[in-house]
Amino acid sequence: MKFTVLSEDDHSLARTGKIQTDHSIIETPVFMPVGTHGVVKSLSPNDLHDLEVEIMLSNTYHLYLRPGTEIIHENGGLHKFLNWNKSILTDSGGYQVFSLSNMNKITDTGVNFRSHLDGSEHFFTPEKSMEVQRQLGSDIIMAFDYCPPADCSKKELKRASRLTEDWTRQAFEYIESKSNVYGHSQTMFPIIQGGIDSSERMKCLEQMLPFAKCGIAIGGLSVGEKKEPMLDIVELLGKNMPIDQPRYLMGVGKPTDLVKAILRGVDMFDCVLPARNARNGQIFTHNGVINITNSKYTHDTTPIDQHSSIEFATQFSKSYLRHLFKVNEMFGLRIATLTNIAYYFDLIKEIKNEINNNTFVKWSEEYLQNYDN
């Protein structure tokens, strides 16, 4: 994998760049749609191609449990299993394991947990996480880290940082000792933990640098902490992370979050929010957020989003989309999901143009003042 910085904003930490994997060229900043179970709900690979998606995210924990790595391997790896010829990033499974707080036990060597599907027992080590991702064949794989809750004690925060360092080293040594399963390269991103404690974050950053060969991630944010401390941590790390590597902010977020994080030097994002909120009738448009099930859209014959880059959003009315939601038609979910993801991609494209023109800061001030989320 290779990363190149293409342009830098003179007035902020924002920049544009290019990631090259064996499967695609990814322009940054980039938003990665989330296909937890190997599919962005209601969308096909062709839909993603039409949206010019160059990389998607899938979930190691869920794919490990169902259908299982053996079945995916029998299909020739995750790319062939999904019929997806662009890049894939997989998380380590750590966040999901730790979120099952009443079903796991954390040790110095890994995590014992019970499946949320059938209660079966499993044990994830750093090596196990790497082997699962190796068998999946994703282009970018995430190190196995300890993601502590936002309200954890100082003692637990320090333990999380210690285990993250130990586990990242073990994961790195394991993946470096193995050959590629499917003939294409895989790059591991280490993950910076430390909560909203700036000293712990900087300490963890220093610990992760030896394992950051072409990418580094910020984890453990957007897990319940307040917005301003989160942004302070992003800015601190944005000023200190390697400038020659892509920076990935995991699990964030809303359109305004993306703008604020890009101002602070972040290049890569993922979040279930645009697809999940679409299923609940929340639509992101160029004129703001709308809740399509609201009765005021019953007679609204205007396009869902007249400025969208996709025809579904410009050809169908808000009234029609509301009708589809009210009668539980699957087509409504598809229109809503496409509209939301298209909005995210339109937003990123506009941001790139503003960065290239050195007008991003002024543009972002107006956007953040006007966009209602």
Clarify whether 197 is annotated catalytic. no
Contact 58, 92 (CB under 8 A): no
Which residues of the chain fall short of a pLDDT of 70? Answer: 101, 373
- Give tens-digit pLDDT for 61-100: 999 999 999 999 999 999 999 999 999 999 998 878 777 7
Contact 91, 142 (CB under 8 A): yes
pLDDT of res. 35: 96
pLDDT of res. 241: 98
The candidate with the shortest Cα–Cα distance to 366, out of 348, 356, 351, 352, is 351
Question: How many other β-carbons are positioned within 10 Å of the β-carbon of residue 2?
Answer: 10
Cis peptide before 29 (omega within 30 of 0): yes
Contact 144, 134 (CB under 8 A): no
Burial 330-360 (b: 16+ CB within 10 A, else e): eebbbbbbbbbbbbbbbbbeebbebbeeeeb
Regarding pTM above 0.75, the answer is yes
pLDDT of res. 103: 79
Q: What whole-number distance in Å separates Cα of residue 206 and Cα of residue 257?
A: 26
Contact 157, 200 (CB under 8 A): yes
> How does strand 121-124 pair with strand 111-114?
antiparallel
pLDDT of res. 373: 61
Q: What whole-number distance in Å separates Cα of residue 202 and Cα of residue 186?
A: 27
Domain with CATH 3.20.20.105 in the chain: 2-271
Catalytic residue among 9, 47, 139, 270: 270
The candidate with the shortest Cα–Cα distance to 22, out of 132, 133, 140, is 140
Cis peptide before 224 (omega within 30 of 0): no
Q: Could you give the angle at the alpha carbon of 191 between the alpha carbons of 108 and 61, nearest 5°?
A: 70
Clarify whether 91 is annotated catalytic. yes
The full DSSP string for 252-297 is ---HHHHHHHHHTT--EEE-SHHHHHHHTTEEEETTEEEETTSGGG
Q: What whole-number distance in Å separates Cα of residue 301 and Cα of residue 270?
A: 33
Chain position carrying tokens 């957007």: 222
Could you say which architecture CATH assigns to the domain 2-271? Alpha-Beta Barrel (3.20)
Contact 129, 63 (CB under 8 A): no
- The backbone region for 226, taken as left when phi is positive above 0, alpha when psi lies in -120 to 50, beta otherwise, is beta
Catalytic residue among 47, 91, 145, 305: 91
